[in-house]
Amino acid sequence: MRVLLMGAGGVGTAVTRIAARREFLTHMVVADYDLGRAEAAVAAVGKEDGQDGRFSAVRLDASDQEAVRRVLTEQSCDVLLNATDPRFVMPLFQAALEAGTHYLDMAMSLSAPHTARPYEECGVKLGDEQFALARRWEQADRMALVGMGVEPGLSDVFARYAADELFDEIEEIGVRDGADLTVEGYDFAPSFSIWTTIEECLNPPVVYEKDRGWFTTAPFSEPEVFDFPGGIGPVECVNVEHEEVLLIPRWVDARRVTFKYGLGEDFIARLKTLHELGLDSTAKVTVPGEDGPVRVSPRDVVAACLPDPATLGDRMTGKTCAGTWVKGTKDGSPREVYLYHVVDNEWSMREYGSQAVVWQTAVNPVVALELLATGAWQGSGVLGPEALPPRPFLDLLTRYGSPWGLRDQGRRQPDAGTP
């Protein structure tokens, strides 16, 4: 399989390090707006894994749809793997369609709040722009696999697995994400892209109910304390806008679907302050500069002022957990489970040189690429992870050395082992 990887940040670099150990990959073109960053990702792979012919670096602007299409064609790529932030989803998505390749991303096209009732009704939903082109992907007999990171991604695979093998009827599917990660020397250092974090945390969260459809609530609504496995323990979680709520109901029958993120009071307070000051805005403002006025986005300024999450691994300690809580019935009896994946930062740094959050995000698209390469996953159109059989994915994830776990919430069995 020949892959064009767009984006050589933390997740993209982790992708190269994971993919270098897998035989399905014929060649990976690592592309980034910053050529030096792409070259560094390739050089690190060559040094650590002895791969001197399967990776190459190019400078490529993710917003330049025609240039991306041209590289896909010239490099005879089978698939475009999008590891950029959600602003670039649509040009990359359309470039892959025009080039006749498959496409895979970890975050979907951006949403826009309802103009009159933002905390009650949906406006433009996450992924709406992509699903609007589903028919064209079907006609091209190509797959656009959307939301295939960890959350969304593995969490959606868990939902499908629960529906197929663990439940007869599902009352609620709730994706729950929590961690106990700390970063030495920083009071505020997000472990993932602050641009994306602001987007999903300050937008109106979406909830799905079967008899009502999709609707929204206020940011950080419906707080609950969830007990995470792997020694993380209880963490307060709140509603956050996320792709699973828009994806899971399309393929899995459930009465209710939610996503809640363990942010913590301090993190929420900082996000609220950014919003109150207008520093979450993506609209450019004019700022005085040495060579004259410049136009910048406040959110880009915030991102530029914070440390790059990919560089924090050596200062981080703790674990991160992504998982899917499911409640329903099996054989006429109530059942409640939590399917999860825990990554210890010490392990991911030792084994791959990547911090836990970016590694956990990166491993899942590589697993998906291998399933596409072997034919274990097949299809056409715009598909979410839950549209495909879950067992091959979960089995292969374990063979990557990163097992998943299942906790019966009723009996609270011991947690499964984690790396």
User: What is 268-297 written as a DSSP string?
Assistant: HHHHHHHHHTTTT--S-EEE--TTS-EEE-
> Position 96: which residue type?
A
- Could you give the angle at the alpha carbon of 296 between the alpha carbons of 291 and 298, nearest 5°? 135
Burial class (CB in 10 A: 0-12, 13-18, 19+), 166: middle
pLDDT score of 413 more than 50 = no
> What is the arithmetic mean of pLDDT over 306-327?
86
Is-contact 256 210, C-beta < 8 A?
A: yes
In whole angstroms, what is the distance from residue 9 CA to residue 264 CA?
26
Beta bridge partners of 256: 172, 209
Percent of the chain with pLDDT over 70: 95
Residue type, 235: V
Question: What pLDDT score does 417 carry?
Answer: 41
Residue 418 predicted with pLDDT over 50: no
More confident residue, 278 or 209: 209
Q: Cite the residue boundaries of each domain of the chain with CATH code 3.40.50.720.
A: 2-105
Run of H or E including 149: none
Would you tell me how many other CB atoms lie within 10 Å of the CB of residue 36? Answer: 11
* Partners of 259 in beta bridges: 175
Could you report the per-residue pLDDT of 341-388, keeping only the tens digit for each? 999 999 999 999 999 999 999 999 999 999 999 999 999 999 999 999
Q: What is the pLDDT of residues 13-52, one digit of tens each?
A: 999 999 999 999 999 999 999 999 999 999 988 755 545 5
Residue 147 near residue 385 (C-beta atoms within 8 A): yes
Dist CA 373 CA 266 (whole Å): 44
106's enclosing H/E stretch is none
Question: Hey, which residues does 326 pair with through a beta bridge?
Answer: 173, 337
Token pair belonging to 46: 């060559």
List, in order, residues 6 or more apart from 245 with CB less than 8 Å away: 175, 206, 207, 208, 214, 257, 258, 259
pLDDT(189) > 70: no
Torsion of CA 32, 72, 28, 139, to 10 degrees: 120
Residue 99, pLDDT above cutoff 60: yes
| Residue 360: exposure state from Cβ atoms within 10 A (0-12, 13-18, ≥19) | buried
The values of phi and psi at residue 238, to 5°, are -135, 160
Task: Report which of 196, 222, 229, 138 is spatially closest to residue 361, judged by C-alpha positions.
Answer: 196
pLDDT of 414 higher than 50: no
* Structure token digits, residue 376: 């274990």
Instruction: Tell me which H or E stretch contains 31.
Output: strand 27-32
Domain 2-105, CATH number (from 3.20.20.70, 3.30.70.3270, 3.40.190.10, 3.40.50.720): 3.40.50.720
Half-sphere exposure (Cβ direction) of 324: Cα atoms closer than 13 Å: 26
**How wide is the angle at C-alpha 37 spanned by C-alphas 35 and 40, nearest 5°?**
110
Torsions phi, psi of 410, nearest 5?
-75, -45
pLDDT, position 312: 73
357 sits in which H/E element: helix 356-374
* φ/ψ of residue 60, rounded to 5: -155, 130
Q: Which fold has domain 154-357+401-408?
A: Dihydrodipicolinate Reductase; domain 2 (3.30.360)
Query: What does the alpha-carbon distance between residue 357 and residue 320 come to, in Å, rounded to a whole number?
Result: 7
Q: CA 374, CA 160: separation in Å to the nearest integer?
A: 21
Where does CATH 3.30.360.10 sit in the chain? Answer: 154-357+401-408
The CB density around residue 256, as the number of other CB atoms within 10 Å, is 18
Q: What angle do CA 168, 171, 177 make, to 5 degrees?
A: 110
| Residue 252 near residue 164, CB atoms below 8 Å | no
The structure tokens 């998943």 sit at 404
Query: Which is more confident, 69 or 196?
Result: 69
* E-strand stretches of 33-121: 55-59, 79-82, 102-105
The answer on pLDDT for 97 being more than 50 is yes
At 405 the three-state DSSP class reads strand
Q: What's the pLDDT at 316?
A: 83
In terms of Cβ atoms closer than 10 Å to its own Cβ (0-12, 13-18, 19+), residue 269 is exposed
Cα–Cα distance, 303 to 285 (Å, whole number): 16
